[in-house]
């Protein structure tokens, strides 16, 4: 009986841990992430390769950021002043390798820009995603 309870307890902890880790980043689908941000009151700009303006916007972003393999981007912001501003930028790539290369380039710029920020900001990579912003905005995109 004790062994069964231990196994059950450890299984429950593992399931809860997986759920908590999965809920930490933005949605893997750019359309769903954009909708979740809109539903949470964020102003959102979303572009996807193949959309009417998406190809031009993606090409311009790749050139400006010196990255390749970008498939979609979602940017959301909310708040009137710098003190109450919440924001997130999510970049969706065609491969994890392109995401890693972009993360390495973007991390330095992001950290430099947010060095003096009083907000709790992060930049992370998850599979084919690179995202950065305030923790509240990242959670809202999930």
Give the pLDDT confidence score for residue 25 in this predicted structure.
78
Question: What percentage of the chain carries pLDDT values higher than 70?
Answer: 82
Give the pLDDT confidence score for residue 6 in this predicted structure.
42
Which is higher by pLDDT, 28 or 113? 28
Sheet bearing 43-48, strands edge to edge: 43-48, 70-78, 86-93, 129-134, 121-126
Which is higher by pLDDT, 81 or 14? 81
Res. 97 pLDDT band, cuts 50 70 90: very high
Question: Whole-angstrom Cα distance, residue 130 to residue 73?
Answer: 10
Question: Whole-angstrom Cα distance, residue 54 to residue 72?
Answer: 8
Let me know: does 77 contact 43? Beta carbons within 8 Å. yes
Q: What are phi and psi of 128, to 5 degrees?
A: -95, 10
Query: Quick one: average pLDDT of 73-77?
Result: 94
Query: So where are the chain's domains?
Result: 25-140
**Residue 118: CB atoms within 10 Å:** 8
The predicted-structure confidence for 23-68, as pLDDT tens digits, reads as follows 467 889 999 999 999 999 999 999 999 888 888 999 998 999 899 9
Query: Quick one: average pLDDT of 79-96?
Result: 88
Give the pLDDT confidence score for residue 131 in this predicted structure.
94
Let me know: does 24 contact 142? Beta carbons within 8 Å. yes
Q: What is the token pair recorded at 136? A: 């509240």
Give the pLDDT confidence score for residue 90 in this predicted structure.
94
Taking the CA atoms of the chain, what radius of gyration do you get in angstroms? 18
Among 55, 51, 49, 112, smallest CA distance to 121 is for 112
Cα–Cα distances in Å, from 23 out to 15, 76, 90, 142?
12, 18, 15, 6
Q: What is the pTM of this model?
A: 0.78
pLDDT at 111 over 60: yes
For the chain, strand residue ranges (E) read 43-48, 70-78, 86-93, 121-126, 129-134
């Amino acid at each position: 009986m004790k062994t069964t309870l231990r196994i059950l307890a450890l299984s429950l902890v593992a399931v809860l841990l997986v759920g908590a880790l999965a809920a930490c980043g933005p949605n893997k689908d750019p359309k769903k992430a954009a909708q979740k941000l809109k539903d949470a009151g964020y102003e959102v700009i979303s572009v996807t390769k193949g959309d009417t303006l998406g190809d031009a916007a993606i090409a311009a972003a790749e050139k400006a950021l010196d990255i390749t393999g970008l498939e979609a981007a979602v940017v959301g912001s909310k708040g009137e002043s710098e003190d109450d501003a919440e924001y997130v930028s999510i970049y969706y790539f065609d491969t994890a390798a392109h995401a890693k290369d972009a993360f390495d380039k973007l991390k330095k710029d992001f950290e430099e820009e947010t060095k003096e920020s009083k907000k709790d900001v992060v930049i992370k990579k998850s599979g084919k995603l690179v995202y950065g912003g305030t923790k509240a905005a990242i959670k809202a995109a999930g």
